[in-house]
């Protein structure tokens, strides 16, 4: 995704951000504080008819001001079936929220999340728990976004 980094850097300053790792079965959520120092896995939700309303509740509870949705970019820029689902999800969320919502390249976030869990000493049995894994993938998306924008 192409951003005007200076403009985006100014627009996210001192704002709490929510990252969403969208999947067809589960959706992981993570947030950062307003200073973008801490990254917190929040939860993993089932992707069903209540998803958007649950996310809206979390956004209100967490006082989120910006949303980032992971969007996989392939090396050959080919689109997959998940692309249209993510765009539909973003559009649905946009109609319910009065917040800026950005798509951000999530390529490699799952692999990086797994590496982070291994490094932190999480047991193999615990790493198999998809509920935990998806929210940690959202943390990676958020960290990568902040690192790119704030450098």
Is a pLDDT exceeding 80 seen at residue 5?
Answer: no
In which band, very low, low, confident or very high, does the pLDDT at 148 lie, cut at 50, 70 and 90? confident
Residue ranges covered by each domain of the chain = 5-150
- Residue 46: pLDDT band by 50, 70, 90 thresholds? very high
pLDDT digits 0-9 by tens, 95-136: 999 999 999 887 655 565 555 455 555 555 554 656 667 888
pLDDT for res 137: 87
**145: pLDDT strictly greater than 80:** yes
**pTM of the complete model:** 0.85
User: What are the pLDDT digits (tens) for 52-81?
Assistant: 999 999 999 999 999 999 998 765 555 667
In CATH, the architecture of 5-150 is 2-Layer Sandwich (3.30)
Task: Please give the full DSSP string across 50-105, using - where no structure is assigned.
Answer: THHHHHHHHHHHHT--EEEEEE---TT----HHHHHHHHHHHHHHHH--S-EEEEE
Instruction: Determine the pLDDT at residue 110.
Output: 58
Q: How many Cα atoms occupy the beta-carbon half-sphere of 78 within 13 Å?
A: 4
Give the span between the Cα atoms of 17 and 147, in whole angstroms. Answer: 13
Strand partners, 11: none
What was the pLDDT predicted at 24?
92
């Amino acid at each position: 995704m192409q951003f005007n980094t200076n403009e985006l850097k100014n627009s996210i300053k001192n704002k709490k951000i929510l990252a969403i790792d969208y999947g067809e079965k589960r959706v992981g959520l993570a947030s950062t504080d307003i200073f973008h120092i801490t990254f917190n896995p929040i939860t993993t939700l089932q992707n069903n008819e209540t998803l958007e309303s649950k996310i809206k509740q979390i956004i209100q509870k967490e006082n989120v001001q910006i949303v980032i949705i992971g969007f996989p970019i392939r090396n050959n820029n080919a689109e997959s079936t998940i692309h249209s689902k993510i765009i539909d999800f973003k559009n649905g969320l946009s109609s319910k929220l009065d917040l800026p919502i950005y798509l951000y390249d999530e390529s490699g976030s799952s692999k990086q999340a797994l590496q982070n869990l291994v490094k932190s000493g999480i047991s193999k049995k615990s790493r198999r728990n998809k509920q935990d894994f998806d929210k940690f993938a959202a943390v990676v998306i958020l960290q990568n976004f902040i690192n790119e924008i704030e450098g």
